[in-house]
Amino acid sequence: MSKVCKSGVAALAVIVSVVFGTSALLAQMPTSPYKKGAPFPEPDEELYGVAAKGKLYVIGGWGDGKARGVNYEYDPATDKWTKKQPMPRPAHHAALAAVNGKIYAFGGFVAPANTAIPLGAAWEPVADAYEFNPATDSWKPLAPLPGKRGSAIAAEVGGKIYVIGGATTMEGSNAPFFTAFGPARVLGTNDVYDPATNKWESRNPMSVPRNHAFSGVVNGKIYVIGGRTGQAFILSATNTDVVEAYDPASNMWSMPKERMPTARSGGASGTDGRRIYVAGGEVTTSELVGAFRAVEAYDPATNSWMTMPSMPMPRHGVAGAVINNRFHLVSGMIQSAGAMAFLDPTLSTHTAMHDIFELRFIPDPSATATKSAAPSQDR
């Protein structure tokens, strides 16, 4: 056999082995990182998720602007939802966190009383704080927030809860609410609550005030990701891609981290202790109104982002939390609130879908790091 023929046979053998090897690898991989969980019993938007003792709690709800205040427990072992006691004072856009198996809810918005403004077009911030005990299915009031606010983030570090950002009324305003097209005060405040003492303390604020942000805790640091600036209503706000990290041990904020690839707000986030996953969200501009399917992961160790397989359906106001390396994404609205779907009462935009993203899924070659930079120094 000639050298040319031998070379051709060898090359063909390599190609065949690669094809069969790749086919065998693909055959071992799941077709999708998503599986379906039991649908959510009361589909809505502005739902928030939190994990406690291996179960998922979905709390809140828009309720057509009235604030629903529902509270459901999901057990991954049985794939079943159980309705629990609702929030003592229903609110939408409350901030949730869990400590020692108990769930804490802070602030939020309620519908103003005695106003001619259409329902849902004005939000009244509250300072309510509550503890929910799943063991007794009961709520109890706590020391109120130092200031009224909604759409903040809440994160637990060392047994304490940090409530950061949010939106409220303008300073000096006589009205207890703000409207979709009027001014609102966006906050960078950082208040820490100690469940052991039922007391609040003020900490250093973040540099970029915002609301409707994503967040997560990795290695004792709190990461605030994206969100809205300028206003709380998506009709008047601007999405940001800024990422900041807060170290409770030093009470210091970092320099800005690598920007999130897709600036957005009003979605879900969760962490497996290594990466922070952000999903969904919404955008409203003069040219575009929509909800996001995108799922992206931030790795604090490398200060880089990875694009993950998108959600099957776009959603904002979706509840999310990570349990046992699975990112649960529950309900939400399949359009932006900026679409003003309420103008057509026959249009249904809320989904009961419960997608479970397997975080151990081997990503396809397109799921590559989209941005990378050297870690920033803390200031």
Q: What number is the average pLDDT over the span 180-185?
A: 96
Q: Is residue 378 part of a domain?
A: no
Q: Which residues constitute the domain of residue 5?
A: 1-30
Q: What number is the average pLDDT over the span 242-264?
A: 98
Q: What number is the average pLDDT over the span 181-201?
A: 98
Among 326, 271, 268, 328, residue whose Cα is nearest residue 301: 271
The predicted pLDDT at position 102 comes to: 98
The predicted pLDDT at position 373 comes to: 41
pLDDT in tens, 123-174: 999 999 999 999 999 999 999 999 999 999 999 999 999 999 999 999 999 9
What tokens were used for 268?
């879900």
Interatomic CA distance for residues 371 and 369, integer angstroms:
6
My answer on whether 22 and 131 are in the same domain is: no
The predicted pLDDT at position 2 comes to: 52
My answer on whether 253 and 299 are in the same domain is: yes
My answer on whether 234 and 189 are in the same domain is: yes
Q: How many domains are there within the chain?
A: 2
The predicted pLDDT at position 124 comes to: 98
pLDDT in tens, 35-55: 999 999 999 999 999 999 999
List residues bridging with 135 in a β-sheet: none
CA 326 to chain centre: 15
Whole-prediction pTM value?
0.88
The predicted pLDDT at position 93 comes to: 98
Q: Give the DSSP letter of residue 240.
A: -
367 pLDDT band, cuts 50/70/90, is very low
Query: CATH code at 316?
Result: 2.120.10.80
My answer on whether 151 and 189 are in the same domain is: yes
Residue 273 CB coordination number (10 Å): 11
30 pLDDT band, cuts 50/70/90, is low
My answer on whether 2 and 134 are in the same domain is: no
Q: Is residue 15 part of a domain?
A: yes
Percent of the chain with pLDDT over 90: 82
